[in-house]
Structures are given as structure tokens and as C-alpha cells.
Chain A
Amino acid sequence: MPEGYDALVVGGGIAGMEASLTLGDAGFDVLLVEKEPSIGGHMIQLSKVFPTTDCAGCITTPKMAATGKHPKIKLLTYSEVEGIEKTGKKFRVRILKKPRYVDENACIGCGRCEQACPVLIPKEWEYGLIGRKAAYIPFEMATPKKALIDLDNCIMCGRCERACPKEAINFLQEPEEIEVEVKAVIIATGYNLFSPEKKKEYGYTGNLTVIHTSANPNIIHGMQMERLLAPSRPYHALVRPGDGKVPERVAWVLCTGSRDKSVGNPLCSRVCCMYSIKQALLYSSAVPFGEAAIYYMDIRAFGKGFEEFYNMVRELGVEFIKGKVAKIESRNGNPVIIAENTETGEIMEEEYDMVVLAIGLLSNPEAVKALGVELDQYGFVAQPQENSNPAVTDKEGIFVAGTATCPKDIPDTVAEASAAAAQCIAYLEEVGS
């Protein structure tokens, strides 16, 4: 007889955590499955949130801790849902737990294995701005704070094994198939970032999580800028990755991979305008004499306090240039932006110390494939009753929240997560035990 839960939450980002906490607080047993080694999602990587400029980590970390320690929530990290089957009122879910090669119960997160490991590769969590070891803890605030070994890059030297004080390293760990029975499911699988190398004209030749192979490492993407501006930032200073210079002129290129049919995504990502404006503000306070310029097609400041925030940043001296950036070239290691200022009709060629590509949000259809729900033409989870029951999918008992349905900002995501949890509770009460 497989283990039973009231609800399964797929995805441990801010939406998944919020939904799990709401359900857990209401007294339901929740299983939270996260494919990464830690919960937290994209939000824990962010610097500040717009338009309040509250610290993103200071909001997310307590949520992560609360989720990790909640008596009603069981965490299953580094695991993926493999398949789902409805039998009667219940779902039978197959979950694959990937091997960490570290005994989770024994590991105390001391980080000795990390110190001992001789292998250095780009750290995905910092989008390649710095390195990590093959034996590593995903990041400082990771929940659970347990190490894992990246066997693809491991050289099998055994140093971590010798360094571990709890003898937690186990190279013989196998993938584990877990079967559970749940009454309801909440999808909170989030989004994928647009890979900026797909927009060839912009000269970003690395990939999302690797920058050191890029032809011009001073062309970075929005998430890398988030990391550079975050309190937990990799260099503990705002410097450009190319040569460590403090960038005195920085430009943001909006709609990189959004509203652009030439890269296959006609949708607006809804957050890039605001996160770029926020980054320009944070940059201006980090480098007081720096010049910030934002190249935009339209500024979509639609949310509560957004327009005021935009106007404030504009008045603070950030330059706003209306025109889609056509290409980014390099001169002496500096990125050069070529665009038409459509307000004046002038073709501009401006050199900057650093350019931030404001990459957009794409769907994450691979993550929901196993759940068998209907997707829309862009790969987002379809909402058949978008206006009356936004959390409902085409499958009864499966709910959805956050950016799995479309790009959206954090307040909307959190609100949706609570809504999905509430609808899920109503459903659970209805089906009973």
C-alpha cells in the first residue's frame, strides 16, 4: 500500500511553497515534489522585488524554512513526477527520486565535501558567474541544506568521502521509484527562462548558466544581473564579468526573447519592464555616478504602483530610449548597441560598459508532461475556466498556480497559489476521505 497524502504539489518555487503552506496550515497532508536539490525556485535568486524594492531573499527564505519544517508538509527534492493515474477518486503518482550520492538523513550540510572537492565548474545557481564544486550544496540558504554530488563532472577521487564527518557519501546510490496516493494535485512548475544565445544579433554566445565561454562576457542576461545586485551576490561587489571593472555605463535591452516572433515567442513576459527598471534603480544606488539606459518598445507598467515606480526611476535620471535594439556589437570588449530611437527617428550606436539582456519567461512544458493536463499553444497549462475558476485545469482534481499558466509577477503568483490551495481545499472537502 503506497503512502497517502491529501495533496501533491509539483514544484517548490514561491507558488508551490505558498500553496503547500496554505494547505498544510489548513491541516492537510502535503507532499511537495521539487526537481532541483533545493526548494526556493527562481525567487530566491532575485535581488529585490518590484515595485516595493523589498529584499526577495528576505521574503523567500522564511517561506522556505517554514515549508521545510512544516509538520504537515513532506519535502521530496531532486525528484520528478514520472506518471499519474486516476483510480476512483484518487491519483496514483509515480515519482523518481534522483540519487544525490549523499545520504540525506546523515548529511548535516557542513560543506566539508565541497571544500575537499578538486573539481570546479560553472555554478548554475549563479548563472555561471562563479564556479562550484562537483560535490556541493546548491546555495547558502538551500532547503534542505544537504550536499549532493554531480556525477557527470565528478572525477571519482574520493576526497569528499574521506572529508565527510558523517560518512554520508554513497556512490552506490540508485535512482529510487516512489509511489504515492493523493487526492488532489497542484501544478506549480513555473517557467523556463529564454536562452539569450537564441537571439543571435545580441552577441550572447554562452548559454543561460555559462557565461565564461561567451565572446563578450560583458553582455549578460537579466538573471545574471539579478545575482550581481542581490545581497548574496557572487563577487560581493557590482563588477562586470569580463574584467572586473565597475560598469559606469549600463544599458538594458528589453523584450529579449519576448514579443519577438523571429525567436518564436510573440508573448509579453510581463515582468521584464519592471525588473529592468528595478535593476536600473539598484544599479544607480550601487554606482552613484553610473549612467543607466533602458531600450524599450513599450513600458508595460500595469500593476499596482508600477507606473509610479517607473516615473520615479525616470525622474532619478535613468534614460529611456524607445526602440527595439537591432544588434549588439563589440568594440574594445565593450558592447555597442545599435537601435533606432523611434521617437526621433535617429539611428543610434552607443557603447556601454555592460549590457543586460532582459530575457523573458517561457513555458515549462517538460515539467508538466507527466501530469497529462492540457496545454495551450505556447506550452503553458491551459485554464479552461480562466475567469471563473482560474486554478482549475482540464483534469478534475488537478489545479494549477503561478507562471505555469502564463508569465506573471510575484504578487500575482502568490495570490494564485493561495487561490489554488483554497480551491483544492474545497475539492478535498467535497471528495472527503
Chain B
Amino acid sequence: MTRVNPELAKELEKFGAKSATVCFNCGNCTAVCPLSNNSTPFPRRIIRYLQLGLEERLLGRMEPWLCYYCGECSQTCPRQADPGELMMATRRYLTTRYDWTGLSKRLYTSKVWEVFCVGILFFATLAVIYLFHGPIVTDHTKLETFAPADIVHPTGYVFGAVLAFFLLSNVYRMHKFIMRSGERVNAPLSLYFSELGTLAVHFATQAKLRLCTNKSFWIKHWLLMSGYTAAFILVNVDLVTRWSLTDSPPPAWHPAKILWTYATIAMLYATTVAIIGRLRKREPIHKYSHSTDWMFLILLWFTVFTGLLVRIFMQFDLPLPTYYTFAVHLALAVPLLGLEVPFTKWSHLAYRPFALYFERVRERALQLQQPPQEEEA
């Protein structure tokens, strides 16, 4: 039995899906999409679910995560129903449904909540730094003395563990939705291990996006993703090796430093281009900006920029600017990571590859279930 939620399309409007009812189901979007194929056809199927209010089926579909919003469907839609934006809004909606805390929904549907939460974390971080920072040395830049590693690193561990907990518990709920939808699947545990490659490959290469006609999207997106991943790894490595948070920073040719430079340039370039694009609104992907899109870009841009400033100030041995900028850098990074990664836009970093991974596991499990039926026939 299928339960229908007649309010589904209306609910999605809050996430930016304003034109789902305009669609007359001609199928242009699905055929024009370079990523859509016969085993996972979209966007029309998803739009149909919105129109019919098939909430449970929508929750179990991973197609929204396959769409990278190249915008060809929106450009050619005869009804100007903006299928690309409908897919984007569905991703926002799904993010709130995967999240069990309810915070995600508040962040997506209320600008007040969004600004309030970012503000709280920003000022709380500044307060913590104000209360717990080490001695301020002014004749030389001694960042480690200002921000003692034995405080910063444990805090980082706890913060990271909390984020991972929220994100992974949401991924688990996503898994439940996908496995429960349609034909019932009991996937053996071994499949989850043997298909881990899918997860890794899609996370690292974003190969699906390369199928889009406009290749520049893939390059920009990959720069951003790889820059972020590099920064993430370096921060973690730093927790062990303590190579950056030190009073005597390593020389410029240090491999870790080269990687940092790459991460900074890649992220700064990609976010700047995205901000300009969203202001110009020329490409379909940049035509509609949800408040969370802006928040994400602004936080990320300033985080990277202040990080760069810290390095420059350290290089020129300017103690006070270094400490202040570092404090602001942390105060921006905390809401960026704390809100964007598990609850809003950045969670797609996990959902996209996991969607492909779960779908693959599901597909293989269905294949394993099938042979006995064939013998009967």
C-alpha cells in the first residue's frame, strides 16, 4: 500500500521547489540529462513523486544525489518548471529528513534560526578562545604559545567526534530509507565490504559529474572538494605531528605546506567563482540561491581567507594580527563545520557517494535474491 501526502509539494516549496506543479510530464528533462539512465531515470520521476505526494518513495530514492545541477533540463524545459532547482530543493528536503535532530529542518526553513545558530557558535568560539588562550607574546609570533596544542587538539577531537556522530547517524537513516523502499532487500554484510570501492571512487573522483556536458563544473567542484579534503586530512595529520601549530613553522617546500597552499588556492578560487556566479545568475545552477547556499559560501570563503591571512601574518612575524586572525579563523570554522557538515549543505559530501554506494549494494543484493525465481520459471 502506498500512502500519499497531499501536502508534499507544498512542503517542498519551503526548500525552493516552487514549480513542481507546473510540470506536464513530457519527459524532456530525463532525456536531456547526461547523467540519467534507464536504471535511474530522473528528474521527471522525482517531480512525479512531488506531484503525487509519494513521500515514502521519495525518501527511498537516491536519484536526487545523482544530479549535479548542470542545468540543461532547466534550460530546455518547455514549461520552465526548473527541474534542476526541483532536484536541488529535494536534496535540501532529504537532508532534513535524514537528520533526526530536527535542527536541519530549522536551519533550512528559517533564516532566523540559521543566523542565530551561526552567531552563537561564532561568539561562543571567540569566548572560549578569550577564556582559555595561552600567554600573548608580542615580540615574536608564537602561535603555539597563544593557542596551546594540548588544549586545541583535544577540543578538536571532541568536536570532530560529535560531528562524525551526527553525520554518520544521518547516513544510517538514509541507508534505512533507501533499503526499505520498494522491494524488500536483505543485503548480506559482505556486500557492504565488497562495494566499499564504489564509495571511495565516487568520493575521490566525482566521476558522475564528469558526464555533464559542461566540464568546467566538474573541475570547479572537484577543486573545492579536493581542497577541502586535503585541508581536512592536514588538520588531522596535524593533530598527530603538530607540524603547523608550532612556534617555528616549517619552510615553504615542506610537502604538507605545499598541500596547504593547494587547498587554499583551490577552495578560494572555487568559492569566489561560485559567489560571482550566484550574483550574476547566468547559469541555471546559480539562478536561485537559498539562504543556506549563501551562508555556506560566505563562511567557507572567510574561513579560507582568514586562514591565508594567518599564514601571511606569521610569515611577516606580526604577533597580534596573527593571534586575532587565528581567533576569527577558528570562530568561522566552528559554525562552518558544526552546522554545514552534519545538518545542511555540506552533508552532501557524504550523501552523494553513500547514495551511490547504497544503491549499488541494493542492486547487488537484489541480483543475489533473484536466481531462485529464475529456476522456478
Report which A residues bind B (CB closer than 8 A).
201, 255, 259-262, 297, 322-327, 338-342, 345-348
Contact = CB atoms under 8 A, between A and B. Distances in A.
Interface in B272-317: none
B370 interface: no
Nearest to B79: A261
B24 A262 contact: no
A322 B25 CA distance: 10
B78 A326 contact: no
Contacts of B38: 346-347
Interface of A is mostly: strand
B77 A326 contact: no
B124 interface: no
Interface in B120-150: none
Nearest to A346: B38
Interface string B146-183: 00000000000000000000000000000000000000
B3 to A, nearest CB: 22
A327 B78 contact: no
B31 interface: yes
Nearest to B45: A345
Given A259-B78, A326-B27, A347-B41, 10 more contacts: A255-B78, A260-B78, A261-B78, A261-B79, A323-B26, A324-B28, A324-B31, A339-B28, A340-B27, A340-B30
Interface string B23-42: 01111111110001110010
A339 B27 contact: yes
A323 B80 contact: no
B75 interface: yes
B79 A326 contact: no
Contact of B41 (A201, A255, A340): A340
28 contacts: A261-B78, A261-B80, A262-B75, A262-B80, A322-B27, A323-B26, A323-B27, A324-B28, A324-B31, A324-B78, A325-B28, A326-B27, A326-B28, A326-B29, A326-B30, A326-B31, A326-B32, A326-B76, A327-B32, A338-B31, A338-B32, A339-B27, A339-B31, A342-B25, A347-B30, A347-B31, A347-B41, A348-B31
A325 B76 CA distance: 11
A339 B28 CA distance: 7
Residue in A201, A326, A347 whose Cβ sees the most chain B Cβ within 10 Å? A326
Interface of B is mostly: loop
B105 interface: no
B26 A324 contact: yes
Nearest to A327: B32
Residue in A255, A341, A346, A347 whose Cβ sees the most chain B Cβ within 10 Å? A347
Contacts of A201: 32, 76
Contacts of A345: 41, 45
Contacts of A259: 78
B32 A262 contact: no
A262 B41 contact: no
B27 A342 contact: yes
B78 A340 contact: no
Residue in B25, B32, B41, B75 whose Cβ sees the most chain A Cβ within 10 Å? B32
Nearest to B30: A340
B44 interface: yes
Contacts of B24: 297
Given A201-B76, A340-B44, A345-B45, A297 B31 contact: no
Q: List 8 A-B pairs, minimum CB-CB distance, nearest first.
A: A340-B27, A326-B31, A324-B26, A326-B32, A260-B78, A342-B27, A323-B27, A324-B28
